[in-house]
Amino acid sequence: MSKIIAIMLLLCFGMMLFGCADDNGRRKAEQQKTIVVTDSVGRKVELPYPLERVAVCNVYNAELITAVGAIDKIVGVDNYIFKDQSGFKNRFNEAQVFGISQNAMNYEKLAELSPQAVIITGEGTWRDAQEMLDRFGIKVVVINSYYTDQFADNCRLIGRIFGREEQAEELVNYFNDKLAYIQKQLQGVPRRSLYFEYRTLGKTAVPGDYFYKMVEYSGADNIFAAAKGSQVDQEAIIEKDPQYIVKVADANAYSSYQPPTIEEEKAIKKELVLRSGWAGIDAVRNDRILLLSHYLHGGASKLVGTIYIAKFLYPEYLPELHPEEVFKTWLEKYQQLQYIKGHAYPELY
């Protein structure tokens, strides 16, 4: 009898130990459900893991979040994201808008939306946002998804905070393969000169701005690579006589999944070629002009734009690079949207 009692006591004691160990394991697991990441401005940020509720500033950030399969985690957006309803399949409503942009955020509205974190860019106001949102227990993560050369790091960061690391790595590899092909094929190839224009006359790509790396990665000889400012004189463009011209968007066009019409594209091109003194520019004389919509050029932190420019400048050296196919993949696979033509004029296959 005493042996039976002893065995029962041992079993009970063992079950108690197991229960304690199991409880400790659960507590430890709960305690570990945070991660520390380094954001785009070098801040160490501790976040719940994975993030389930976020508010987002900047379309580029929203697109990369979508691309890793985490769009359903977005509970609040700025007005720029909200305005492109078709680009996000009417997923967001006015009740989710917390401001025009990160420069005009409604912090009380953000508190009402109750995100775990707000994802914004490094433009100026992130420090104010950090101070204001800290009182609500909302974290701030700075991600500069508009910079082409930060694409891989930003994808991996976004993948990490949402627990979508595998999807992020696949996305990075897809575009890195395209860049590696461009670089390999253009080794030793003389660079062709390019004037890049963003919206208005003389607004171009210079070191440190949002467009410079997009152009550089294409293998183009950027005629204003040494310019001190992004606004240049018309006379300087004429004097440099570029072989190719790429223009992104009309001055009044909003970035939208819906492409410009053919008539609108023709009007943009007509305005460009009829500018005073431009008839003698090499690119104009030989009709080497490419128009890209704002939406297309910005895909994948502007790497979609890079691929179009590379193919436009060096078609004979890049036979296996198919820009329209890349854009189609970006839309269908990474943005969950139907492929739509008309974002490039002419189209490049």
Rounded Cα gap, residues 70 and 273, in angstroms:
43
Of 29-38, 93-102, 207-216, 220-229, the one with minimum mean pLDDT is 29-38
**Quick check: 11 pLDDT over 60?**
no
**Quick check: 319 pLDDT over 70?**
yes
Residue 3 pLDDT class (50, 70, 90 cuts)? low
63 within domain boundaries: yes
Query: Pairing between strand 344-345 and 289-292?
Result: antiparallel
Whether residue 158 is found in the same domain as residue 203 = no
- Going from the C-alpha of 106 to that of each of 93, 96, 110, 232, the distances in angstroms are 16, 11, 6, 37
CATH code, 101? 3.40.50.1980
Of 21-25, 282-286, 290-294, 314-318, the one with minimum mean pLDDT is 21-25
317 within domain boundaries: yes
State residue 123's pLDDT score: 83
State residue 255's pLDDT score: 83
Whether residue 204 is found in the same domain as residue 287 = yes
Pick from 247, 263, 258, 255: nearest CA to 295: 255
Tell me the percentage of the chain whose pLDDT exceeds 70: 91
103 within domain boundaries: yes
2 within domain boundaries: no
Number of domains in the chain: 2
**Quick check: 111 pLDDT over 90?**
yes
Q: Is the pTM of this model over 0.85?
A: yes
- Going from the C-alpha of 38 to that of each of 3, 42, 44, 141, 303, the distances in angstroms are 60, 6, 5, 9, 23
Domain that holds residue 262: 188-345
- Going from the C-alpha of 286 to that of each of 68, 102, 273, 312, the distances in angstroms are 41, 43, 11, 13
Contacts of 325 (CB under 8 A, 6+ apart): 349
24-48 pLDDT tens trace: 444 444 455 999 999 999 999 999 9
Whether residue 51 is found in the same domain as residue 150 = yes
**Quick check: 16 pLDDT over 60?**
no
Whether residue 192 is found in the same domain as residue 337 = yes
State residue 253's pLDDT score: 82
State residue 2's pLDDT score: 53
State residue 21's pLDDT score: 45
158-196 pLDDT tens trace: 999 999 999 999 999 999 999 999 999 999 999 999 999
Whether residue 258 is found in the same domain as residue 341 = yes
Whether residue 216 is found in the same domain as residue 323 = yes
285-299 pLDDT tens trace: 999 999 999 999 999
Kindly state the tokens that stand for 91: 């997923």
200 within domain boundaries: yes
Residue 13 pLDDT class (50, 70, 90 cuts)? very low
Tell me the percentage of the chain whose pLDDT exceeds 90: 87
State residue 186's pLDDT score: 99
The pLDDT of 7-16, averaged and rounded, is: 47
Whether residue 193 is found in the same domain as residue 149 = no
State residue 334's pLDDT score: 99
Residue 23 pLDDT class (50, 70, 90 cuts)? low
The pLDDT of 68-88, averaged and rounded, is: 96
Q: What is the mean pLDDT of the chain?
A: 92
